[in-house]
């Protein structure tokens, strides 16, 4: 599990989950406070903005929401992109 500095990672529920022994089953990788180059999610957003949504122009938020859903659906089948976002920071060899 890759953790960045998000507050959700320090909330009471997560602390309880980890205190009950879940940490033994997980490999936790902590990211520095600001390290977008190490965060696979940043690579996915970069791909979505540049490739999947690069030429999309929406007139309403509903249209944008629909385009995002389609882009995410296409991304699920792009294992090359997903692998690259995980391999680039060195999480997989």
Per-residue pLDDT at 64: 92
Domains of the chain, by residue range, sit at 1-34, 35-93
d(CA 14, CA 20): 10
d(CA 81, CA 75): 8
Task: Kindly report the number of other CB atoms within 10 A of residue 49's CB atom.
Answer: 12
Q: Which of 34, 41, 28 has the alpha carbon at shortest distance from 82?
A: 41
d(CA 17, CA 74): 33
Task: Kindly report the number of other CB atoms within 10 A of residue 86's CB atom.
Answer: 15
Residue 59 tokens read as 């007139």
Bigger pLDDT: 65 vs 14: 65
The model's pLDDT over 57-90, given as tens digits with 9 standing for 90+, comes to 999 999 999 999 999 898 889 999 988 888 876 6
Q: Tell me which DSSP letter residue 19 carries.
A: I
Q: Once rounded to an integer, what is the mean pLDDT over residues 26-45?
A: 79
Entry pTM? 0.56
């Amino acid at each position: 599990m890759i953790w960045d500095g998000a507050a959700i990672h320090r909330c009471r529920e997560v602390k309880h989950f980890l205190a009950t022994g879940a940490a033994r089953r997980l490999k936790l990788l902590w990211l520095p406070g600001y390290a977008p180059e190490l965060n696979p999610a940043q690579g996915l957003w970069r791909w979505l903005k540049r490739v999947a949504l690069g030429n999309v122009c929406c007139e309403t938020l509903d249209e944008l929401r629909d385009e995002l859903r389609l882009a995410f659906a296409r991304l699920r089948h792009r294992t090359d992109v997903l692998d690259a976002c995980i391999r680039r920071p060195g999480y997989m060899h």
